[in-house]
Chains A and B, each alone.
Chain A
Amino acid sequence: MNKTINQKAWFFVIPVFVLVAFNAIIPLMTVVNYAFQETFGNNVFMWEGTRWFKQIMLSERFHASLGRQFLFTFIILFIQIPLGIAIALTMPKDGIGVPICLVLMSMPLLIPWNVVGAMWNIFALPDIGFLGHSLNALGFDYNFTQQIGDAWFTTILMDVWHWTSLVVLLSYAGLQSIQPAYYQAAEIDGASRWAVFTKIELPKMKKVLTIAILLRFMDSFMIYTEPFVLTGGGPGNATAFLSIDLVKMALGQFDLGPAAAMSLIYFFIVLLVCWVFYTLMMRNEGNQ
């Protein structure tokens, strides 16, 4: 076969290249730029090498916020994934109930993040909020602005309220794609409800659940707006997750160098965890 050599083909690649450069590479490179240098403004930069990275990696403050971040993400995954599957299983499979449930389920997802934060802030205020006031009226000493446990409780509750729907919708889609013949076959075999769940539904939902866990991991790991509006990272630093801490460092203290280094480390952690998780899930997939 004779191939025509025509370099003009590169012109077709340029638009994509420019687009990706502007929305991903260039912003990232400015961060990289800050991460290796020190600046006192006026566009004067001094080379610092890996100093900021070392400083961040060794800083207790970073360890603390990273720890809080992992704890938060694990707790919400631990609640949202099983809860989402459980709700999806109880949803109707056909009839008028389906659109009603789907619309109800997508409502929390449609609310802007800062509104969710503001909503829950007011909702949970101990003196005037419905939740806060009710809890206190019931005899609980609840005040999320002052007590660490209450702050965590409220933040987690808010995230569960906001995002469980996503897991529900994905699981529901997975469940709906299972052909009725599978359930009949199980019925003929006399399989129990639990066996139907573990032997048919879970394996068939595996792909959507992988996506659900990945999405929920990434989103919760990068959570900013909602806890920022709800607790502002407080009381103290109790709910200062990675991104809140990062913004404090970058814009509050104007430590651009360490903040840039921290962003990059943050970025690589997300990337690494997603990659490990995805590879593990897909490797199992290949075995089947």
Chain B
Amino acid sequence: MSLELKNVEKKIGLDTHIYPTNLKLEKNTINILLGSTLSGKTTLMQIMAGLDKPTNGEIWFNEKNVTGMKVQKRNVSMVYQQFINYPNFTVYENIASPLKITGVSSDEVKQRVGKVAELLKLSAMLNKKPNELSGGQQQRTALARALVKDSDLILLDEPLANLDFKLREELREELPKLFEDRDCIVVYATTEPSEALLLGGNTATLLEGKVIQYGKTLNVYNKPNSLVSAQVFSDPPMNITKIKKSGERCSFLDNSVNWKTKINIKDGEYKVGIRPHNITTYKEGNNSLEIKGKVLISELSGSESLIHFTRGNLNWVSLSNGVFQKNVGDEMNLYMNADEFIYFDENERLVISG
């Protein structure tokens, strides 16, 4: 089983929503579409589902061309950011609704709904109507509707975005388990890099209607093929600076920070991407560079400190474990882990990572 997009392109009027895209999703995989809003995630999903037709290109499912085939015939299910359930149906009826036209016997419907409801912890509220439930339970119902029929393709469009923090964490942990032994392809759209890392599987980074990179999630994260891909897959945003390499010495900020390097790349100028968590208030790794900065903003979130600072006309973001209370305008020392730098050439293509 596989889903393949061949040169799929979507234009609406003069606007291109999806640039020609080739993508092959294999069976039993979770595939994450990672990108900001309007990057084309939803459009791509709707094309995959058959809810929308591509302007050009073909969609192949199981080695069969399914371009233009109606969504009812495609055995897909979809979960949306908004909690989409039939308002007048009970939770039970809602979960059973996708089975209605499949002609499954009523005994089996009962049994399957019961099973899915248990899986999603909805057993106690099968007789309630959706608007008597909390947001988390409503989204669980929508998930159950997607899981109850054995879809070949399950599409989840930012399913956790409208939930509050705690419910999101809770459901996020359960999600990978839900798809574990299912014979299907899961596509999951999100704006949050952390969600992609948590779910694992494969990730496609998207920007403005283009798939930048597709591969194993960790691979995409560790070895972004381009600066753009690295930026999409970084939250808080990645720090970018220009460095000079000559011989064994690397330097940046007009040579005010320099170090001895072992990496084997040509001499010259590079762009370096530094993830915020590789700039910390404490030394980390063997190749730690000290830089002085002036605090712009300092945010504390639980056990982490996000410190925005300026140095050499550039704004930097650092993320440290632990709580560091800093005042605006404070001068402070920060440390960069030079072993974790990601090097890009002048065309912003990856040269070497870490």
Cβ distance A192 to chain B, nearest Cβ, rounded Å = 9
**B51, B76, B77, B145 — most chain A CB neighbours (10 Å):** B51
In the complex, the answer to whether A179 meets B82 with C-beta atoms within 8 Å is yes
Assuming the A-B contacts A187-B72, A188-B78, A190-B72, are A288 and B131 also in contact, with contact meaning beta carbons closer than 8 angstroms in the complex? yes
Contacts of B72 in A (CB 8 A): 187-190
Which residue from A182, A190, A203, A288 sits with its C-beta under 8 Å from B84?
A182
Contacts of B129 in A (CB 8 A): 287-288
| Cα-based distance from A200 to B87 in the complex (angstroms) | 7
| Cα-based distance from A183 to B49 in the complex (angstroms) | 14
Q: What is the number of residues of chain A that contact chain B, defined by CB distance less than 8 Å?
A: 16
Assuming the A-B contacts A199-B86, A203-B88, A204-B87, are A185 and B49 also in contact, with contact meaning beta carbons closer than 8 angstroms in the complex? no
| Cα-based distance from A187 to B49 in the complex (angstroms) | 11
Is B259 on the interface with A (CB-CB < 8 A)? no
In the complex, the answer to whether B76 meets A288 with C-beta atoms within 8 Å is no
Chain B interface category by residue count = 20 to 34
Which A-chain residue is minimally distant from B129 (CB atoms)? A288
Contacts of B78 in A (CB 8 A): 184-185, 188
Which A-chain residue is minimally distant from B99 (CB atoms)? A189
In the complex, the answer to whether A200 meets B101 with C-beta atoms within 8 Å is no
Cβ distance B137 to chain A, nearest Cβ, rounded Å = 15
Q: Which A residues fall within an 8 A CB radius of B?
A: 179, 181-182, 184-185, 187-191, 199-200, 203-204, 287-288
Assuming the A-B contacts A179-B82, A184-B78, A203-B88, are A189 and B131 also in contact, with contact meaning beta carbons closer than 8 angstroms in the complex? no
Contacts of B236 in A (CB 8 A): none
| Cα-based distance from A182 to B80 in the complex (angstroms) | 9
| Cα-based distance from A189 to B46 in the complex (angstroms) | 15
In the complex, the answer to whether A189 meets B101 with C-beta atoms within 8 Å is yes
In the complex, the answer to whether B89 meets A199 with C-beta atoms within 8 Å is yes
Is B183 on the interface with A (CB-CB < 8 A)? no
Is B253 on the interface with A (CB-CB < 8 A)? no
Q: Which B residues fall within an 8 A CB radius of A?
A: 46, 49, 51, 71-72, 76-78, 80-82, 84, 86-89, 97-98, 100-101, 129, 131-132, 145
Which B-chain residue is minimally distant from A200 (CB atoms)? B86
Which A-chain residue is minimally distant from B132 (CB atoms)? A288
**A182, A185, A191, A203 — most chain B CB neighbours (10 Å):** A185
| Cα-based distance from A181 to B129 in the complex (angstroms) | 19
In the complex, the answer to whether B51 meets A184 with C-beta atoms within 8 Å is yes
- Other A-B contacts than A203-B86, A288-B87, 12 sampled, CB-CB below 8 A, are A179-B84, A181-B82, A185-B80, A188-B49, A188-B72, A188-B77, A189-B72, A190-B72, A190-B101, A200-B86, A204-B87, A288-B88
In the complex, the answer to whether A203 meets B71 with C-beta atoms within 8 Å is no
Which B-chain residue is minimally distant from A287 (CB atoms)? B129
Assuming the A-B contacts A181-B80, A288-B132, are A187 and B86 also in contact, with contact meaning beta carbons closer than 8 angstroms in the complex? no
Cβ distance B47 to chain A, nearest Cβ, rounded Å = 13
Which B-chain residue is minimally distant from A199 (CB atoms)? B86
Contacts of B145 in A (CB 8 A): 185
In the complex, the answer to whether A203 meets B80 with C-beta atoms within 8 Å is no
In the complex, the answer to whether B82 meets A187 with C-beta atoms within 8 Å is no
Which residue from A179, A189, A190, A199 sits with its C-beta under 8 Å from B88?
A199
* 3 tightest Cβ-Cβ pairs between the two chains A and B: A190-B72, A190-B101, A181-B80
Contacts of A287 in B (CB 8 A): 129
Contacts of A182 in B (CB 8 A): 84
User: Could you list some 28 contacts between A and B, CB below 8 A?
Assistant: A179-B80, A179-B82, A179-B84, A181-B80, A181-B84, A184-B78, A185-B80, A185-B145, A187-B51, A187-B71, A187-B72, A188-B51, A188-B76, A188-B78, A188-B98, A189-B72, A189-B101, A190-B100, A199-B88, A199-B89, A200-B86, A200-B87, A203-B86, A203-B88, A204-B87, A287-B129, A288-B129, A288-B131
